[in-house]
A and B are shown apart, each in its own frame.
Chain A
Amino acid sequence: MAETMQALDLSQNKYSDVTMEEKDRLFAEVKSDDRWEHVLYGCYECGICVAACPSARFYDFSPRVIAQAVAREDTDLVYTLMADSIWDCSQCFSCDRCPRQNSPGQIITIMREVAVKNGLTSAKEALQGYGRIIYKIMLTGTQVSPDMLQPDAFPDWGTHVHEIAENLDDWRKALPPETLHTTETSWTIDDKTIIELYLIWHMTGVMDLISGVDEGLYDIIVDVMEERLEEAGYDDVTFD
């Protein structure tokens, strides 16, 4: 049932076209993160993280290789891992069992952020098909919604998704909590709340990040939210 993955290329030849300066720059960005000193202390090479890791069972993926690569400051290998490996991580943090107090999962979180921020091809590929989720979370404040339960989106979940989709409006109304009668969001959310969330995305640079990853998505989000801001009377809002 698991997909067959290509073996991780540890020969360091795969990305020889990328300059060492560029690889150094990206690794330096990873190491400059404020969390860095709390996520890497060394590596005993014991493999406990691998034993606990779900992704290691199904992909050519190893939290130990990642911890070792960054601990040894093997810039070439770190780049290869950023390009080919980090998106396999499940982000469950089972690897936090590390007796050295490393958090390979958090190391990967930082590496992913740097990959996204710098528009690495791997990040763009990993986020293909993910745009609707980002759209949902940034514009509605909830990541998933009842109306996402459609048979074409979840064919592997069987016929019960058809039943839910067919009865969605009525079944939502047949929920006792008053806030759950919604279909486009998971619960009723105030306009003011969405606007505050949108201001947070701007003030923290997340909108710039989206612009770098998916310009089309960025334009849609801005269009929708500017209209919403105007309707709510936020004519002179600044995002600094």
Chain B
Amino acid sequence: MLHLPVLKADERKHSMDTEKGEKVDLSDAIFQLEKEGEWIVQRVPEPYIELDTKYGRKKKIPVEHTWHHKSCGQCGHIPGYSASIFWLNREFGLDYHDPTDQTSCTAWNYYASATSNPEAQAAVAIRNFAAAYEVGYFPIIHCGTSFGHYKEVRHALVHQPELRRKVKAIMEKLGKPFVIPEEIVHYSEWVMAMKDRIAERQQLDMSMITATVHPACHYHKLIEDDAIYDSEIYGAQRSAIITGTLQALGINVADYSTWFDCCGFGFRHILVSRDFSRSFSVQRKIGVMIEEANPDVTVTHDTGCVTTLDQSQFAGKAHGKKVGLPVMSDSQMAALAMGAHPYKVLQLHWHNTDNKAFLEKLGIDHEQKWAEFQSEVKKIKDGKMEYMSWEDAK
């Protein structure tokens, strides 16, 4: 493989491209449609924090009163990812809602099999938004694909009156309001918005850690103008998401030449054609990160990316490839920094790639922590405890 020299991102002199902003901003159209009686716009509740998007629009990120649109892949296979998001909210004493009246966005299936259509996808999205509105909480989206897909749905609903009409009719039949949130917010934007407060509460020194970052394709490539950018990070030429959070924690974020590449998830490939996913993940991402940056951990912010980058390394090792890089989400890194338990909260035993050396570098006695977790599991096995509670997880 050809390796180009990596220019240090912080040496580049670029600035945010603000000229395109007005052309792509949907805000006026969304509120105009509300005035015309087409739908209800759910306002971002106060307090909120404003972050810059790609072309300079200020995006409102709610601090609390959030309705957590969970991810099927995170909750199903890497549940410490979601648990860390909730743990952070609880540590800050913030009001949030973890709903049972929520389906997944179903977009993973849509992008994998095409056994759906835009009308169904929009109806699923609006049904979930309506469920949030009905209980008075504002949606915050855990999955990168759900986030990107919902932005696509919103774009289509704004520009296609016929689609709006069809979805409105479906919502009427379901007896639900036709609601669109003022902002589509990804949880990692909330983590980014909270980064200074997280850093204030940081218990673990992370200054000895070097990390690489992989931003999710569906976060910053679908409706690119709505992703978070920062003039101080990559000169606003790449999304600042994750990187900004890690830098606030004192972590050295190292650059690598395949930053823009996808992880290899492929939607249908990760389920029924994983040879592609494994190859791309190991050869174009993990191997390049190790060779060029030699990081202690790679951090991402989406279901598919954590899954693919982490699980693919087992086969990579069998093929003698450069692997062995722990993979975590930004929510797990933030929670760990604030003192969360690596197994009770981060649930690192669901991850595949060995992360013990990473924990040791942070001064964490992983054997002791694992024994503490196993003690809780034993209580469950022995019937002395039905479930591990948040209190037990402290």
Contact = CB atoms under 8 A, between A and B. Distances in A.
Interface of A: 1-3, 34-35, 38, 52, 54-55, 57-59, 87, 90-94, 96-97, 109, 112-113, 115-116, 123, 126-130, 133-134, 137, 141-146, 148-149, 154, 156-158, 160, 163-164, 167, 170-181, 186-190, 192-194, 196-197, 199-201, 203-206, 209-210, 213
B262 interface: yes
Nearest to B272: A129
20 contacts: A2-B279, A52-B260, A90-B264, A94-B221, A96-B222, A97-B221, A116-B114, A142-B75, A144-B76, A171-B350, A173-B387, A175-B347, A176-B389, A176-B393, A192-B101, A199-B173, A204-B117, A204-B166, A206-B116, A209-B117
B217 A186 contact: no
Contacts of A137: 104, 106, 108-109
Q: Is the interface of B mostly helix, strand, loop or mixed?
A: helix
Contacts of B267: 90-91
Contacts of A57: 280, 284
B102 A189 contact: yes
A150 to B, nearest CB: 12
A74 to B, nearest CB: 22
Interface stretch (B58-66, B200-208, B311-319): B311-319
Contact of A91 (B266, B273, B276, B377): B266
Interface in B258-272: 260-262, 264-269, 271-272
A175 B380 contact: no
A133 B271 contact: yes
The 3 closest A-B pairs by CB, nearest first: A141-B103, A112-B114, A158-B314
A93 B388 contact: no
B112 interface: yes
A192 B148 CA distance: 26
B76 A148 contact: yes
Q: Is the interface of A mostly helix, strand, loop or mixed?
A: helix
Interface in B160-194: 160, 162-163, 166, 170, 173-174, 176
Contacts of B271: 130, 133
B113 A91 contact: no
Contacts of A190: 100-101
Given A126-B268, A187-B100, 18 more contacts: A34-B162, A127-B115, A137-B106, A171-B350, A175-B79, A175-B387, A176-B388, A176-B393, A179-B75, A179-B100, A187-B75, A190-B100, A193-B103, A199-B174, A200-B120, A200-B124, A203-B123, A206-B117
Given A58-B279, A176-B344, A200-B124, A35 B118 contact: yes
B262 A94 contact: yes
B70 interface: yes
A221 B233 CA distance: 49
B282 interface: yes
Contacts, number: 259
B217 A174 contact: no
B345 interface: yes
Contacts of A134: 109, 113, 115
Nearest to A115: B114
Nearest to A112: B114
A180 B222 contact: no
B246 to A, nearest CB: 23
Nearest to B387: A173
A213 B278 contact: no
Nearest to B273: A3
